Chains A and B, each alone.
Chain A
Amino acid sequence: MFFHIVLERNMQLHPRHFGRNLRENLVSKLMKDVEGTCSGRHGFVVAITGIENVGKGLIRDGTGFVTFPVKYQCVVFRPFKGEILEAVVTMVNKMGFFAEAGPVQIFVSNHLIPDDMEFQSGDMPNYTTSDGSVKIQKDSEVRLKIIGTRVDATEIFCIGTIKDDFLGVINDPTTA
């Protein structure tokens, strides 16, 4: 889910950036450092929407760098346990399938796929129901529920399920 959140960060600036454009330099350094990163608590920082406040800079002893506490608003994307997401399938194998929702990767194990769906290997590996009416393959859109999350240094990885009511394939790329 997307969130609008205010975060704070201490930015260190080298004296060569001081001058008229101090604030611009600070903001662009902030954007370079923060946008695209991901943390366990807040999720992916997708974009910075504004700077709320830049505090007084503190000169560090010995180095000449100055530390500014910056408060900024940003849009973050964080998946939650229990959340319903619509994701696009990227890979299918006999252990389950991988899907992507925005910047987040989700894995659905075959234990969490309804029992009436079987894995079919081949050029386009897929999961199909016994009567062939529903198929999950690469580029299918699937609605799933997040049941667990794991955070890495640079990305968030989730486990999902489609073994629940109102979950499963939304859009079959072959019929679209």
Chain B
Amino acid sequence: MSEKGGKGFSLPTKTTPKSALKSTPASATARHDDNSARSKRGRKVQFGTEGLTDLGFNFSSLKSDGKFAIPVGKGDWAKGGKGEKVVNGGKAPVAKEAKSLELRVEQELPENVKCLMDCEAANILEGIQEQMVMLSQDSTIKLPESFHLGLQYAKTHSYYTNPQSVRRVLEALSKYGVSYSEICVIANTCPETVDEVFALVRSLEAKKSRLSEPLKDVLDELAKLKKST
């Protein structure tokens, strides 16, 4: 009998022609051949990072006993807290779009990169601007346009008075598997409800059950730290 792996996907095996799918034998085997052929090729299509529109899948290899291994949560290739993969070709387009909009910062940037919250960036850039005022006797050194735009953006979006305490509060989430970049997105968007967090950071939806309680506490703490404007 075919087994259900992961979230209820079942594939007919070679040895057992009877499948859980209520389709005719001809179409069942045709579909099975297609699936096995696809997975045997072991095709790996990389997701474009430079704004390319190609979307791709990573297929796990189909094991001989017909069980399909669907990694849930963190796999060896997914560092950003990904959800489960979709195998069934029919459901692919919907899952494709959902996947493509998840934050994949850790995969796209080298290891030594540190995400900054807008309030932290505002502090750093203001410090540099003060230094530049002293150095501005040398008229050849001028701050570029993007610096002023970046500084203005960071200042208007820093809602917290003290970045260190915000960092400490959000660190509590990291033990639930929330990545650094997701923590920064939460800090930058300043959400008011837990639903807002899950709607904005889709990659956390897989851990919804575990995260709801701690997130509520964290959001209450953050609300206290907000600047009163």
Q: Please give the residue numbers on chain A whose beta carbons come within 8 Å of chain B beta carbons, in ascending order.
A: 1-6, 28, 31-32, 35-36, 38, 40-42, 44-47, 49, 75, 77-78, 80-84, 86, 100-103, 143, 145, 147-151, 164-166
Contacts and interface: CB of A to CB of B under 8 A. Distances in A.
Interface of A is mostly: strand
Interface string B148-192: 011111100100000000000000000000000100110011010
A32 B135 CA distance: 14
Given A3-B114, A35-B147, A36-B147, A28 B141 contact: yes
Given A75-B124, A151-B50, A44 B104 contact: no
B128 interface: yes
A36 B145 contact: yes
A49 B184 CA distance: 20
Interface stretch (B19-27, B29-37, B115-123, B217-225): B115-123
A145 B97 CA distance: 13
Interface of B: 49-51, 53, 100-105, 108-110, 112-118, 120-121, 124-125, 128, 138, 140-141, 143-147, 149-154, 157, 181, 184-185, 188-189, 191, 195-196, 199-203
A13 B105 CA distance: 35
A36 B144 contact: yes
B103 to A, nearest CB: 4
B101 A75 contact: no
A151 B48 CA distance: 13
A73 B141 CA distance: 18
Contacts of B108: 80
B144 A35 contact: yes
Closest 3 CB pairs of A and B: A36-B144, A102-B153, A2-B121
B50 A84 contact: no
A102 B115 CA distance: 16
Q: Interface centre among A41, A84, A86, by most B CB within 10 Å? A: A84
A27 to B, nearest CB: 10
A47 B147 CA distance: 6
A84 B200 contact: yes
Given A81-B104, A83-B185, A164-B199, A2 B154 contact: yes
A5 B114 contact: yes
B35 to A, nearest CB: 29
A82 B202 contact: yes
Contact of B153 (A36, A81, A101): A101
Given A1-B181, A1-B184, A44-B150, A82 B101 contact: yes
A36 B146 contact: yes
Contact of B51 (A47, A101, A150): A150
Contacts of A80: 103-105, 108, 181
B69 to A, nearest CB: 26
B109 A3 contact: yes
Contacts of A164: 199
